Amino acid sequence: MEFDTGTGKLYGAIVAELSSYAGRAISSANLMNELENENREIANGITDLIRFGVIEHVNTSASNAHLRIRLREPVPDTPKRASVNNQDAFVWLAYFVDEHNYRERRAQRLFSNREEAWNHLTYLCSVESLTPVTEIEDVWCEKLGGRAKEYAVLRKEPVFTQANPPFTGGD
């Protein structure tokens, strides 16, 4: 899978905009109003970032027209939010995610080292290579062909040391 500069800039812009909300969930409609790209591009970027585990889908509007989303990892200087006190505390998350339904993950496993996570992906689907996702740190992806259209994803996952209190900060 190739990530061009334009796609990477869009991913970076989405993450930067969500960072300004300090971990609170916002509507994808608000995000589309803030960014200068075409709405379809932004929607595709949001879907990709959910597939890659960078942002999370909190819920869907009553009309099913928009998602409420937020960054998965904590934003600095938000003491009441989930936190990662030790930046060296991480694991490797390897999984496959459906092309058409980003909520459908399979063979999701945590590993203590990158090599074993890579082996997991290659054993299950003969993944030949993974491409770093432009503008997103520690996430690699490859779109797989065949009958089941899906993505193989490998990402560095933080180990949290503090819980995320529900319904605070506008969620």
- Per residue in 86-105, pLDDT (tens digit) is 556 899 999 999 988 888 99
Tell me if 165 is assigned to some domain: no
Shared-domain flag, residues 19 and 52: yes
Query: What is the model's pLDDT at position 14?
Result: 95
What are the CB-based long-range contacts (under 8 Å, 24+) for 123-132? 124/96, 125/96, 125/152, 127/152, 130/154, 131/1, 131/2, 131/3, 132/3
Tell me if 54 is assigned to some domain: yes
CATH assignment of the domain containing 47: 1.10.10.10
Q: How confident is the model at residue 80 (pLDDT cuts 50, 70, 90)?
A: very low
| Cα distance between residue 12 and residue 169, in whole Å | 23
Tell me if 136 is assigned to some domain: yes
Tell me if 153 is assigned to some domain: yes
Query: What is the model's pLDDT at position 84?
Result: 56
Query: What is the model's pLDDT at position 171?
Result: 40
Using CA of residue 97, residue 98, residue 102, residue 106, what is the dihedral sign? negative
8-33 tens-digit pLDDT: 899 999 999 998 887 788 999 999 99
Write the single-letter amino acid at 126: S
Query: What is the model's pLDDT at position 170?
Result: 44
Shared-domain flag, residues 99 and 57: no
Give 38 or 9, the one with higher predicted confidence.
9
* Mean pLDDT to the nearest integer, 49-58: 93
Shared-domain flag, residues 145 and 100: yes
* Mean pLDDT to the nearest integer, 123-142: 90
Q: Which residues form the domain of 146? A: 90-158
